[in-house]
Amino acid sequence: MITCKKCGVELPENANYCPLCGEPVRGKESKVIESLNISEHSKKNLEEFKSLTVFQRLKIFWQIVSFILLSAVLITTIIDLFYNNMITWSKYSTSVAVLLFINVSIFVFLNEKILLKHFLSFIALSGFILVLDIFDKSLASATKYVIPLMFIGYIIVLAFFFIAQKIKSEVFKLIAYSLITAGLVNIIIDAIIKVYVTGKISLSWSLIVCVSSFLISLLSFYFNHRIKKVSDLKRFFHL
């Protein structure tokens, strides 16, 4: 008689693992491994990695990314110094690396707080653009519409993913919502650029895009509705 070490139920004589909790049966475990010919070492590493929590795995990912970014910054700076005897173009690659580092850190360490995470990432990106403007005077005017555009972009994409998460399994609904999102993004881009160029809101091309994308999304909603069988409607609307 064999009992499972973890959940305490009695297993059949020839069992290699517990059918209830998946715990391998001691003594038989090693035989299975030998027969599969997996080296102890790699299996151990793999098991160690598997036993980590999501956060611990993310932290490893963060360490690797930080290392790569740091070496990239060092290498580009050294090359720049070597050729030009001063820092010229490498300041751009360095600032991009810093921005990437900030974003990765935010996403790794603020795993749970979705809103805060995106807000901080937005602040970092805006800060980056502002700094670019200060360094490079020819870009100065860009901030006036780039940052509002980015802000709206963040909000709409976030809203879209929020909705998408709720309706995973319904493809046509997903298509419909993404079309609506695209339409809205177009209108906002148009509006912000018009305000920047002419000083007032006057929509032109985006309206056409928006109307057509809305129409197609309506069609998509209808499709989604139709593919459920008629009997579904009956149970859905039972009084």
Partner 1 sequence: MSLELQENKRFWFPLDNAAKIFPSVLSEEIPVVFRISAVLKEPVKINELQKALLLTEKRFPYYKVSLKKGFFWFYMEYLPKPIPIEVDSRVCRKFSENKILVRVLVKGKSISVEFSHILTDGGGAMEFFKTLIIEYSKMLGAEVPENFEYIKPDSEISEEEYEDAYNAYFKEEIPPILKRSKAFHLPFALNQKPRFRHMSAMISIEQIKAVAKQKNVNITIYLVAIYIYVLQEIFEELPFTSKFKRNKVIRLQVPVNLRGILPSKTMRNFSLFVMPEIDMRLGHYTFEEILKTVYHQISLETDAKLLNKNINRNVRSEKKFYIRAIPLFIKNAVLRMKYYSLGTKQYSGVISNIGLVKLPKDTSDLIDYFYVVNPPPNKMLKINCGIISFEDKLVMTFGSVVKSKEFEEKFRQFLEKEGVDMTIINS
- List contacts with partner 1 (CB under 8 A): 3-4, 6-12, 18-21, 231, 235-239
At its nearest, how many Å lie between partner 1 and the CB of residue 10? 4
CB-wise, 82 or 236, nearer to partner 1?
Answer: 236
Q: How far is CA 136 from the centre of its chain?
A: 31
Q: Which is nearer to partner 1, 17 or 154 (CB)?
A: 17
Instruction: Quote the CA–CA distance of 107 and 234 in Å, as a whole number.
Output: 45
| Chain position carrying tokens 């929590």 | 53
Q: How far is the CB of 6 from partner 1 (least distance, A)?
A: 8
Provide the token pair at 55: 């956060």
Report the nearest approach of partner 1 to the CB of residue 167 (Å): 13
Nearest-approach distance from CB 76 to partner 1, in angstroms = 50
82 versus 237: smaller Cβ distance to partner 1: 237
Return the number of the residue (144 or 166) whose C-beta is nearest partner 1: 166
CB of 48 to partner 1, least distance (A): 24
Closer CB to partner 1, residue 7 or residue 70? 7
Q: How far is the CB of 97 from partner 1 (least distance, A)?
A: 43
C-alpha dihedral, 150 to 152 to 155 to 157, nearest 10°: -70
Neighbouring CB atoms inside 10 A of 165's CB total 8
In terms of Cβ atoms closer than 10 Å to its own Cβ (0-12, 13-18, 19+), residue 201 is exposed
CA 44 vs. chain centroid, Å, equals 30
Q: Residue 137 or 235: which CB sits closer to partner 1?
A: 235
**Is-contact 105 62, C-beta < 8 A?**
yes
Helices and strands, counts by H and E, the chain: 9, 2
